[in-house]
Amino acid sequence: MRTHSRGTLLQIHAFMIRHALEANLNLITKLITTLSSVDPYCGTRHARRLFDKMPHRSDVFLCNTMMKSHLFSRQFSEAVGLYVCLRRNEGFVPDNYTFSTLAKCCGLNCAIWEGMEVHTHVVRYGFKSNLYVATALVDMYGKLGQMGIARKLFDEMTERSSVSWTALITGYIRGRDMGTASELFDMMPENDRDAAAFNVMIDGHVKLGEMGSAKKFFDATPEKNVVSWTTMIDGYCSNGDVDEARLLFDTMPNRNLYSWNAMIGGYCQNKQANEALVLFQELLAGKMFEPDDVTVVSVLPAVADLGAMDLGNWVYEFVKRKKLDRSANVSTALVDMYAKCGEIEKARRVFNDVQGKRPVHGML
């Protein structure tokens, strides 16, 4: 089901209703997946209404699809709530994909009690030894700060993958325990030391301001990817070494928008407004990537510092055209820019235009 328009998907749904296809399990499952990917918030809400009307709500593939849609849309509580409802009323029997999804939801939602309940159900249904489920639980407990439980689960695993090792290492790094993280990395089988494992070690040292150690891991990374490069750029900028960051940026074999945003934001962070605007204009001239809300928030402080109102007005029109003003961060940055440039009326106009006024309150 290839389409990029929520309106088109709703037309397809209307067609299905007219032709009595709403009970077609395969079609509804595809429609739910596509609705959520096209419009993570409203699309998933609509998908859930479709799901709730389905007669086959005990089908594990359909149910997992709906839970994953909630996960994708960051509606974590809804995914867990759906699982509870299905078990109580539908005779639903979960599988390993169900528990992997639920563990991710609980970890991302900092829902420790629900996470422990999911763990209990994993044991009850006999999935404790499943590699993917056990890894998801290690990751969940790491996100919840329960490293004792995460380590115990990891030590009990009869089979481990690079993802399992990286999940545990990431948990220790999140708790700023680089010593244990480094020990685990050294214990990790060499075949499992992929780019993701090196990247978490780089990120951990960067967050502690240990750029020397970060560079050692960066240099040792067998296949550097855009995440490796961008993490180092961000780290150098955060530690005031913008020249080193720019050197890396210029030597990157492949860049994406995250890399551009990191470098532009790094210049602004280090009060190098001219360089930030020059790089922003290079991004526009290249036409390979379109600025997003992060780009806008990164560049507007430079516009304000230099009083570059022509560019500021262009950014404002771009934001309106691309509907980026739905982001509270973008709206706040626009109000701040106009206010610092003495354009109080324009600042007030932006303030009045934004959909969610509460986050920008106080800027005027």
State pLDDT tens for residues 224-233.
999 999 999 9
CB 57 within 8 A of CB 86: yes
Location of structure tokens 């106080």: 362
The residue out of 54, 77, 93 marking a domain boundary is 93
Other CB atoms within 10 A of residue 68 CB: 20
Helices (H) and strands (E) in the chain, counts: 21, 0
Residue type, 145: G
Q: What is the mean pLDDT of the chain?
A: 87
Confidence at residue 364, expressed as pLDDT on a 0 to 100 scale: 47
- 3 pLDDT tier (thresholds 50, 70, 90): very low
Tell me the range of 36-50, 261-275, 303-317 where mean pLDDT is highest. Answer: 261-275
Q: How far apart are CA 119 and CA 197, in angstroms?
A: 25
Location of structure tokens 């706040």: 332
Query: Domain for residue 188, yes or no?
Result: no
CB 312 within 8 A of CB 341: yes
Query: Domain for residue 239, yes or no?
Result: no
Instruction: Tell me which of 240 and 9 has the higher pLDDT.
Output: 240
Q: How far apart are CA 356 and CA 300, in angstroms?
A: 20
- 312 pLDDT tier (thresholds 50, 70, 90): confident
pLDDT in tens, 186-208: 999 999 999 999 999 999 999 99
Query: Domain for residue 115, yes or no?
Result: no
Query: Domain for residue 231, yes or no?
Result: no
Domain span holding position 39: 8-93
The residue out of 61, 93, 125 marking a domain boundary is 93
Report percent pLDDT > 70 for the chain.
Answer: 87
Query: Domain for residue 290, yes or no?
Result: yes
- Nearest CA among 59, 66, 61 for reference residue 35: 66
Query: Domain for residue 49, yes or no?
Result: yes
Location of structure tokens 């020249």: 243
Query: Domain for residue 46, yes or no?
Result: yes
Instruction: Tell me which of 288 and 43 has the higher pLDDT.
Output: 288
pLDDT in tens, 168-179: 999 999 999 999
Please give the structure tokens belonging to residue 122: 């994993």
Give the 3-state DSSP-derived string for 287-304, with helices as H, strands as E and coil as C. CCCCCCHHHHHHHHHHHH
**Tally of domains within the chain:** 2
pLDDT in tens, 85-139: 998 876 789 999 999 999 999 999 999 999 999 999 999 999 999 999 999 999 9
Query: Domain for residue 178, yes or no?
Result: no
CB 172 within 8 A of CB 147: yes
- 357 pLDDT tier (thresholds 50, 70, 90): very low
Residue 362 pLDDT > 90: no
Chain center to CA of 157: 28
- Nearest CA among 69, 150, 135, 132 for reference residue 95: 132
Please give the structure tokens belonging to residue 305: 């510092």
The residue out of 66, 93, 120 marking a domain boundary is 93
Q: How far apart are CA 124 and CA 120, in angstroms?
A: 6
Please give the structure tokens belonging to residue 250: 């210029």
Location of structure tokens 């961000």: 234
